[in-house]
Amino acid sequence: MEFKGFSKKALPFLEAIRKNNNKEWFEAHRSEYEEYILNPSRIFVQEMGEHLMALEPTIDFEPKINKSLFRIYRDIRRMGANKTPLKSRIGIIFTQGNSGSRLQKSSFYLHFSPDELFVSVGVRWFEKPMLDAYREYIIDESRRVALDKLLKTLEAKGYKTIEKGYKRYPRGFSSEMPSADLSLYKGMATYKILEPKFIEDGDKLIDTLYKIYEDMLVLQRVVYEISLRVKED
């Protein structure tokens, strides 16, 4: 089935979740969620995934919950987690790599809400094995300087790099080293924020995302290479 875009009712539905964030309301409106969000998300994953294979043939995508799609219910059991039961933004992920959590794989990612369409590649938050692999990768000066240059090139095109997560240099790094600030990151990803109504035009959305992901592809590949360095326990 061809992806024609999300319904114009999708964003108002997500806004309604914010005002009625409880299980009872959602179960009474589940059919609307499936019509406006879930079913078109599945079609989108299949079509966007096929496009992305032209950029990266080993990309992994599957239009199912807990694969390329995320659950609408939030995990409120985690310490510090948002305790509202429902998410009002919809995440979609296309990963590269066969092992580990999908959020620790280099990925083409997006989410949309009534506020924004957020588009990114990389890994936004490293868990320790991935963080160790990242630091091992950038301890080499030539790789570190090349990554720094890459990020500056993407920033010149209008993309942003996620914020640094640390204030102190980790062991093995110092301010005297070229591009040492890269060691202060807790993840490595670049992103762009668009107007949320982009989701309503299928062709425009696919074309716009493809161009963004094509620009960001070189960083996607770097983070994938880093992921291959993760040491198994």
| Domains along the chain with CATH numbers | 10-227 (3.30.930.20)
Neighbours of 112 (CB within 10 A): 26
| Predicted pLDDT of residue 231 | 81
DSSP 182-224: GGG-SSEEEEEEE-GGGGG-HHHHHHHHHHHHHHHHHHHHHHH
Please report, in tens digits, the pLDDT of each residue of the chain (233 residues total).
Answer: 799 999 999 999 999 999 999 999 999 999 999 999 999 999 999 999 999 999 999 999 999 999 999 999 987 655 455 678 999 999 999 999 866 789 999 999 999 999 999 999 999 999 999 999 999 999 999 999 999 999 999 999 999 999 999 999 999 999 999 999 999 999 999 999 999 999 999 999 999 999 999 999 999 999 999 999 998 65
Residues 214, 192: Cα–Cα separation, whole Å: 13
Angle of CA points 114, 119, 124, to nearest 5°:
110
Do the bridges between strand 160-161 and strand 117-123 make them parallel or antiparallel, or are there none, so unpaired? unpaired
| Predicted pLDDT of residue 135 | 97
Residues 6+ apart with CB under 8 A from 232: none
| Predicted pLDDT of residue 84 | 87
Residues 6+ apart with CB under 8 A from 111: 89, 90, 91, 92, 117, 118
Residues 100, 67: Cα–Cα separation, whole Å: 13
Residues 201, 204: Cα–Cα separation, whole Å: 5
Given a contact cutoff of 8 angstroms between Cβ atoms, the answer to whether 197 and 113 are in contact is: no
First-to-final CA distance of the chain: 42
Neighbours of 1 (CB within 10 A): 9
Edge-to-edge strands, sheet with 90-96: 90-96, 106-112, 117-123, 188-194, 160-161
